[in-house]
Structure 1
Amino acid sequence: MEKLIYFWKGYIKIRIRGEQTERFLNLCRGRNICVRKLLRHPDGELTGIIAIRDFFLLGPLHRKTRVRIHIVEKHGMPFFFYRSKKRKAFFLGILLWIGLFIFLSGHIWNIHVEGNRRCSTQEILDFLEEQGVVHGISRKKVNCGRLAEALREEYPEMTWVSVKMEGTSLSLEIREGILSEKKEESTQNAFSLAAEKNGKIVKMITRAGVPLLHVGEVCKKGDILVSGELELKNDSQEVYQYQYVKADADIYIQYKQAYYHEVPLAYQAEVFTGKEKRGVSFRAGNWCLAFGEKAEKGFERSIEYHPFQVTESFFLPVSYGKIIRKEYKKTARKYTEQEAKLLSWEILQAYEKKLMEKGVQISANNVKIEVDHETCISKGSLEIIEKTGREVPIERREQPEERTTEND
């Protein structure tokens, strides 16, 4: 920090000669004049660094001790500006840079969204664009409170939204939960729950409605599992009124899903030769300029952009990227039996992972992998447990007529 202050205020390297150099240094110390990096040479000379302000205080000391002081070097911003006073374009560039810096710091150049799962980031960015919030908007035009309120109104599943500005970055933190009451109000009509696939019921928890099928029974697609129609009976077990509710239940069915996949043993492999071609790309908004990029067959292209960042939260709307193109050649190859089985197993695992991401459970895997001369075949079935219950409307019946008893 001290070096930076000296450079900003300017400093001078001086050479001191004479018979009373020690007295000269004592006088400097008594007047709080600091001489840094003081060195004594074999011929008795002294060299050191002194600030510009302190240099002008050496006159009386110079006359008392009759030492000779010579300026060896000049450093710092004051001397730099003095030498550059005729360079008008240089100072104009500095003023333009300062103006550009002030302009860029007053706008939003980075919009960061986190915590969203149901709503994609691009969907949220499109909604912000409809609200007039885009990259490059002035910070003064962004109302964080109103923006958070608009997001909650547009997406009822968002239970909490935080919008804050940090430098030139706009951060949106989102928490999603259960649907709001507005969405629930749209489902006030009564309905029943029907099976979406053929299968066997393995679990059922009914909260509202009348279960028509139970655990262990087999259902077909379209069968009513839980009815939203309630029959109210009197003491004689006669129905005197029908009531209709929204059926609510957690129903899980088990069924078999066929699986079949082929992996040819012969394939074309892309073998990299080790030859690379590099280039540079600059991007500002929708404008892009690339150097060293050429469309050629047999090359795999990759590019990674890095935004220019002044501080942790101050992003400039300009980024640079490194272009790497690696040469490859296609070569005919053939999987071994072990490699083909391993690849087929990985494909099966990826398929199961996609199913589980949809909320299903896999209770058993009955897939067999066999290899012949040309193909590796995976075939069999998966036993899947999945939640079911499709809402279907209820055909309302006429209410039973009231019965009266006559007394003789």
Structure 2
Amino acid sequence: MKRIHNYIVIEISGWERERFVNLCCRRGITLYNCQCVKETIRARITRQDYFKTKELRRKCHVHIKVLKKHDIEFLFARYRRNYSIIAGFATAFVLMFIASRFVWSIEFDGNYIYTDYAMLRFLNEHGISTGDKVKSIDTESIEKAIKDELSQVTWVNVRIEGNILKVSIDESKADELHSTTNDGNIISGYSGVIEYIITRSGTPKVTVGDEVSEGDILVENTLYVPDDYEENIQQFQTQAQADILIRTQLSWDKEINAVYADKIYTGRKMTTYAISIDKYEISLGFPRHLKEYDKVVNEGNIKIGNLIALPVSVQKITLNEYKENEAEYSEEEAAAILNEKAERFIKHLKENEVQINDYHVNIERSGDKYIAHGDIDATVPADFDVRKVETSDE
């Protein structure tokens, strides 16, 4: 039996329905899949043949009921006055296809030392940013650049999923790092007492309990190998590697202004929205009646599933109006603020594998400032850079 794809399912009723079928055959009008259902005949007929049966229906006094239309032409006929709907779907499909050819989102995973902002800036410096073509991104070269230039990254995987560039990294811990000079020696970053040393490569110059100063060589990059008679000693150059902990005294200083601008919120709020398309932003409202305000932005990217990120994000912006009045910290308020900063600094040290033995913070007022000074008894890796913690604590 011939299979047709564009057809109409009809139901023929009336006393001369068999005659109608016979006349259709004589006139070259083909009926498919004819079935007798009670006192009717059901069949399939093409759209063109359906309109040819008008005269035969009148002659045979039959009634034809259309049960189903399976034809794309009927679909267009149904929406002939709403072509904008079809055009909208077609436009959306084309835009989705074009958007899938570009990277519209960059996601990072496993990074703690290097923030998302720092990683994004690193990629931008190497010519990688949102809006780049997927085919133009070389994931292997990105992996190599990250390994070569970011010293604390031990493993990296860069991949493209849909139109999302995903970067996964592993970072070394503070006690796994080794501070070396250009010639491969391990040098001390602090003055103090050696509490722990395990040498993997090179010749140790200190032992547990030795006092060292900042800049002293702790492990030399030379191996001394004597012969069987311990007369002739051969020297081999290597890269010094060791885990070393030094007990030392760290200092911490912070100051705040005694006079500050106190924000008094008026209670007036305004909520507005904005649409961000790649690097462009379209605001849907303006804070016309608010003079000074805080802004809280909640942004959500539009995604189709988990792999396709559209270059469009919607922002909900909440504005809280305030007025500024000049105020002055009391000694108790200043002490609370500075002690909180000190606690946060100590917390960051512990997160970087620094052991805190004891610490003391002294706070005093000098002119129009409150100044805090902290003395910290700590055990740190020989190569630990406390300046990184101070920077992250700002």
CA distance in 1, matches of 2:258, 2:210: 44
Q: Deviations over 1:87-121 (max 9, x none)?
A: 55554444333433443345443333323456643
1:237-252 equivalences in 2 (<5 Å) = 240-246=232-238, 247-252=240-245
- Alpha-carbon distance in structure 1 between the residues aligned to 2:38 and 2:358: 89
| Counterpart-to-counterpart distance in 2, 1:278 and 1:270 | 20
What pairs up with 1:191-230 in 2 under 5 angstroms? 191-229=184-222
1:150 is matched with which residue: 128, 141, 149? Answer: 141
Instruction: Call closer, same or farther: CA 1:254–1:30 in 2, change over 3 Å.
Output: farther
Residue 273 of structure 1 deviates from its aligned partner by: 0.9
After superposition, the Cα gap between the structure-2 partners of 1:100 and 1:372, relative to the gap in structure 1 and judged at 3 Å, is: closer
Hey, what does 2:317 align to over in structure 1? 323
CA contact (8 A) 1:190 1:228 kept: yes
1:161 aligns to 2:153 (yes or no):
no
Residue type matched to 2:233 in 1? Q
Label 1:244 to 1:272 Cα distance change in 2 as closer, same or farther (>3 A): same
The answer to whether the 8 Å contact 1:111/1:135 transfers is no
Structure 2 residue 342 is the aligned partner of structure 1 residue 344? no
Matched, 1:126 2:124: yes
Q: Which residue of 2 aligns with 1:49?
A: none
Which residue is 1:353 aligned to? 347
TM-score of the aligned structures, taking structure 1 as reference length? 0.59
Whether contact under 8 Å (1:225, 1:389) holds in the other structure is no
Q: 2:227 & 2:285 partners in 1: Cα distance?
A: 88
Tell me which amino acid in the other structure corresponds to 1:153.
K
Residue 343 of structure 1 aligns to a residue in which SS? Answer: helix
Q: For 1:1-400, what aligned pairs fall within 5 Å after superposition?
A: 82=77, 84-89=79-84, 91-116=86-111, 120-123=118-121, 125-126=123-124, 129=127, 134-135=130-131, 137=133, 141=135, 147-156=138-147, 157=153, 159=155, 161=157, 163-166=159-162, 168-175=163-170, 191-229=184-222, 240-246=232-238, 247-263=240-256, 266-294=259-287, 297-335=291-329, 337-369=331-363, 378-388=372-382
Q: Does the Cα contact within 8 Å between 1:280 and 1:321 map onto a contact in 2?
A: yes
Give me the whole-angstrom Cα distance separating, in 2, the residues matched to 1:340 and 1:308: 44
Amino acid at match of 2:377: E
Q: Residues 241, 284 of structure 1: CA spacing in aligned structure 2 closer, same or farther, 3 A cutoff?
A: same
Q: 8 Å contact 1:161–1:175 — kept in the other structure?
A: no
**Mean Cα displacement is larger for which, 267-276 or 314-323?**
314-323
Mapped partners of 2:85, 2:226: distance in 1: 96
Distance between the aligned counterparts of 1:248 and 1:311, measured in 2?
Answer: 47
C-alpha spacing 1:214/1:352, structure 2 compared with 1 (3 Å): same
Q: Find the aligned partners of 1:127 and 1:264 in 2 and give their Cα distance.
A: 37
CA contact (8 A) 1:303 1:324 kept: yes
Name the Cα RMSD after superposition.
Answer: 4.8
Counterparts of 1:213 and 1:379, CA distance in 2: 32
| Structure 2: distance between partners of 1:123 and 1:336 | 41
Farther-moved stretch of structure 1 (254-263 vs 276-285)? 254-263
| Structure 1 contact 151–161 (Cα < 8 Å) conserved | no
- Corresponding residue for residue 64 of structure 2: none
Mapped contact 2:270–2:287 kept (Cα < 8 A): no
Q: Which amino acid aligns with 1:274?
A: G
Q: Please say if residues 276 and 314 of structure 2, whose CA atoms lie closer than 8 Å, have aligned partners that are also in contact.
A: yes
* Contact preservation (8 Å) 2:143, 2:158: no
Q: Distance in 1 between matches of 2:201 and 2:102?
A: 54
Note the C-alpha offset of 1:270: 0.9
Secondary structure of the 2:232 match is strand
Task: Find the aligned partners of 2:352 and 2:262 in 1 and give their Cα distance.
Answer: 33
Contact 1:363 1:383 in 2 (8 A): yes
Structure 2: which amino acid aligns with 1:314? Answer: I
> Aligned partners of 2:207, 2:350: CA distance in 1, in Å?
25
Structure 1 residue 347, shift from structure 2 partner: 1.0
Letter matched to residue 112 of structure 1: E
Compared with structure 1, are the counterparts of its residues 380 and 95 closer, same or farther at alpha carbon in structure 2 (3 Å cutoff)? closer
Q: CA deviation at 1:361?
A: 2.8
Does the 8 A contact of 1:192 with 1:226 survive in 2? yes
Call closer, same or farther: CA 1:29–1:335 in 2, change over 3 Å: farther
Partner AA of 1:135 in structure 2: G
2:155–2:171 contact (8 Å) kept in structure 1: yes
* Partner SS for 1:97: helix
TM-score by length of 2: 0.61
